[in-house]
Amino acid sequence: MCAKPEDPVEYLESCLQKVKELGGCDKVKWDTFVSQEKKTLPPLNGGQSRRSFLRNVMPENPNFPYRRYDRLPPIHQFSIESDTDLSETAELIEEYEVFDPTRPRPKIVLVIGGPGSGKGTQSLKIAERYGFQYISVGELLRKKIHSASSNRKWSLIAKIITTGELAPQETTITEIKQKLMQIPDEEGIVIDGFPRDVAQALSFEDQICTPDLVVFLACANQRLKERLLKRAEQQGRPDDNLKATQRRLMNFKQNAAPLVKYFQEKGLIMTVKCHCL
Ligand code: ADP
C-alpha cells in the first residue's frame, strides 16, 4: 500500500529476496520495505502556475464577469440601510421587556376561536365595553404585508397566509410586541386571533406576559364554513378562497383542543358558545 508498485508480484519477489539477503524474518524491521527515497509531489494541475490555474477555473464568462481579484459589487439586499421592514431592529426587540416593569401593566385579554367565529366583532365589543385597546393579529399581518410588499420576507408571508396557513410564529410575536410597545399606557388590550396553538401561547408567555383572560368563541365547524362562505362574498379577502378556508378550518380543528385545554388548566379561559351569534 505504501510503495504502490506497478508490478505487485515482482515487488513481492524483490521483498522476499531482501529478507533472504538480510538473513531471515528476524531481521525484518518496521521500515525494511519503506522506501527511503523522498519523492516530490507532482505539481498541482500538471504544472500550471497558481495564476494560470485561477484563470482556467474562472474563465471569461459573460454571466460571471469578475476576475479573481476584482472587487465584487456591493450587496444591497442584506445591508442594514436597506432593512426597510426593520426586521433586524425587530429581532433586537426580542431582548427587551415589552412592558415597563416599574409601571402597571395593561390587562391582556386574548380572544381565540375558529376562522369566522366572530373574533373580530366580539373583541371590538369587549374593547369598547371596557375602554381597552383592540389589536387584530390578522389585520396587523395584512397591514404589514401591504406596507412591505416589496420585501421578500413579507411577500413570502403573504403567500403563506393566502394558502390558509399560519404566519411564522416568531415574526407574528415580534409584530405583536412592536404594537404593544407603542401602546404602553392602555389600561387593557384585547388581542384578536392569538394564540393559534400551544406553541404560540408558550412563546407569548415567555416573551411578553401571561394573559389575564382568554375568551374562546366556540362554534360548530359547519357554522364556521357557512360564515366564511358568506364573508368571502362580502369582503373578498384573498385567504377566503375555498382551499385556504378548508386549510384554516383544518388547522383550527387540529390546534384548538390542546390550546383550550392548556388555558383551562391555568384557569384562564372563558368559553362563549357562539353558534347563533
Ligand atoms: P381568521 O381568524 O378568520 O382566519 P384573521 O384575520 O384573524 O382571520 O387571520 C387571517 C390570517 O392571518 C390567518 O389565516 C393566518 O394566516 C394569519 N394569522 C392570524 N393570526 C395569526 C397568528 N396568531 N399566528 C399566525 N398567523 C396568524
By C-alpha distance, which of 215, 177, 191 is closest to 95? 177
Does pLDDT of 190 surpass 50? Answer: yes
- Structure confidence at residue 81 as a pLDDT band (50, 70, 90): very low
pLDDT at residue 131 in the model: 98
Q: Is the CB of 194 under 6 A from ligand 1?
A: yes
Q: Cα(35) to centroid of ligand 1, in Å? A: 74
166 lines ligand 1 (CB under 6 A): yes
Neighbours of 145 (CB within 10 A): 20
Closest CA to 270 of 140, 55, 113, 53: 113
- The model's pTM: 0.68
122-177: pLDDT as tens digits: 999 999 999 999 999 999 999 999 998 889 999 999 999 999 999 999 999 999 99
Grid cell locating 78:
442584506
> Residue 196's CB: how many other CB atoms inside 10 A?
20
Average pLDDT over the chain, rounded to an integer:
84
Q: Which atom of ligand 1 is nearest to the CA of 192?
A: 7
Ligand 1 atom 11, closest CA: 138
* CA–CA separation, 243 and 193 (whole Å): 20
Q: What pLDDT score does 101 carry?
A: 87
Q: What's the count of helices (H) and strands (E) in the chain, helices before strands?
A: 10, 5
Residue 117: pLDDT over 60: yes
Share above pLDDT 90 across residues of the chain, in percent, rounded to a whole number: 58
Question: Could you tell me which residues are beta bridge partners of residue 192?
Answer: 111, 136
User: Which homologous superfamily is 107-273 in?
Assistant: P-loop containing nucleotide triphosphate hydrolases (3.40.50.300)
More confident residue, 67 or 202: 202
- Separation of CA 160 and ligand 1 centre (Å): 11
Q: What is the residue type of 138?
A: G
Tell me the residue type at 16: L
For the ranges 86-90, 104-108, 169-173, the lowest mean pLDDT is seen at 86-90
